[in-house]
């Protein structure tokens, strides 16, 4: 089959192609721009203009650096120069634009160069996708996950870590890392529930949590791991600090508790253990602290013991 060439038909096809490009350019839901080799905007569509809070005609003649975040200009200019020098024909990067009201817009920029037959750049075609909404959704999702995570590892009564939170914190102690573990068992807590009721018991437990938090430093872990059982992980603490803290725990929890109009005495026993090469695992550290707690309770309660 022979197809004859017709100049008029070819011109019509060119006009149709140009009209289709023009329509697609201006109607696109993503931002589009034609950029001169100098970096100035030749044409911008309504989506890009809305993204930047400007009118399309206001963008014409502006350099892309005029509305690029100052911290992102160098990365964009570097890639732009690579295209100009023939090292690449396109590039893509996430960057920030500045709206006319000063707000920041996170975008994904894709830029492709149009060249002469000899390779000389003529202009750039840029497509810009607004990432702000997806970033907001991502941040909201991260915050929701973090909140859920806190709920999962937090004891609702005391606000301390729960057993799961404690186990996670203990598992995070690396082999060879200096740390101490204190296991705290309230001595006469059952009598509070029996005499004053569970509501009074809850008030005592909440106060125990507050007192324990006041004895540790930022970065330490305090957890309620059972009904009247608490645990403390002292990060970077050796035997001296472990003993000092254990003694303070016994003293503070041995002081009177005010519950409504009643005075309550409970006391506590503490078993402490320090990490060393012989208990290189969290399980080994906990086993030593358990043995020390058992020794403290056997010694008469209201005291503390440090594992050998």
Catalytic residue status for 194: no
Query: The dihedral of CA 114, 116, 120, 123: what is its sign?
Result: negative
Q: What is the 3-state secondary structure (H, E, C) of the chain?
A: CCCCCCHHHHHHHHHHHHHHHHHHHHHCCCEEEEEECCCEEEEECHHHHHHHCCCHHHHCCCEHHHHECHHHHHHHHHHHHHHHCCCCCEEEEEEEEECCCCCEEEEEEEEEEEECCCCCEEEEEEEEEECHHHHHHHHHHHHHHHHHHHHHCECCCCCCECHHHHHHHHHCCCCCCCEEEEEEEECCHHHHHHHHCHHHHHHHHHHHHHHHHCCCCCCCEEEECCCCEEEEEEECCCHHHHHHHHHHHHHHHHCCEEECCEEECCCEEEEEEECCHHHCCHHHHHHHHHHHHHHHHHCCCCCEEECC
Number of Cβ within a 10 Å radius of residue 55 = 13
Q: How many CA atoms lie within 13 A of 284 on its CB side?
A: 14
Catalytic residue among 228, 262, 290, 308: 228
For the annotated catalytic residues, the residue numbers are 228
């Amino acid at each position: 089959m022979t197809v004859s060439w017709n100049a008029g038909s070819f011109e019509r096809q060119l006009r149709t192609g140009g009209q289709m490009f023009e329509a697609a350019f201006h109607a696109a839901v993503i931002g589009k721009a034609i950029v001169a080799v100098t970096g100035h905007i030749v044409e911008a569509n309504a989506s890009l203009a809305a993204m930047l809070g400007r009118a399309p005609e206001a963008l014409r003649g502006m350099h892309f650096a005029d509305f690029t975040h100052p911290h992102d200009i160098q990365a964009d200019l570097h890639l732009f120069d690579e295209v100009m020098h023939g090292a690449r024909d396109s590039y893509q990067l996430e960057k920030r634009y500045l709206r006319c009201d000063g707000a920041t817009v996170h975008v994904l920029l894709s830029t492709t160069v149009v060249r002469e037959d000899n390779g000389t750049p003529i202009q750039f075609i840029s497509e810009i996708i607004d990432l702000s909404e997806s970033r907001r959704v991502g941040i909201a999702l991260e915050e929701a996950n973090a909140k859920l995570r806190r709920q999962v590892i937090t004891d609702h009564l005391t606000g301390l870590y729960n057993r799961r939170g404690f186990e996670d914190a203990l598992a995070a102690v690396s082999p060879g890392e200096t740390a101490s573990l204190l296991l705290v068992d309230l001595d006469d807590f059952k009598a509070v529930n029996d005499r004053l009721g569970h509501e009074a018991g809850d008030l005592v437990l909440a106060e125990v949590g507050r007192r324990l938090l006041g004895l540790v430093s930022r970065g330490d872990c305090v957890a309620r791991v059972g009904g009247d059982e608490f645990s403390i992980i002292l990060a970077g603490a050796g035997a001296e600090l472990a003993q000092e803290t254990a003694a303070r725990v016994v003293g503070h929890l041995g002081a009177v508790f005010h519950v409504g109009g009643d005075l309550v005495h409970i006391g506590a026993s503490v078993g402490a253990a320090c990490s060393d090469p012989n208990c290189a695992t969290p399980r080994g550290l906990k086993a030593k602290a358990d043995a020390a707690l058992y020794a403290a309770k056997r010694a008469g309660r209201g005291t503390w013991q440090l594992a050998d």
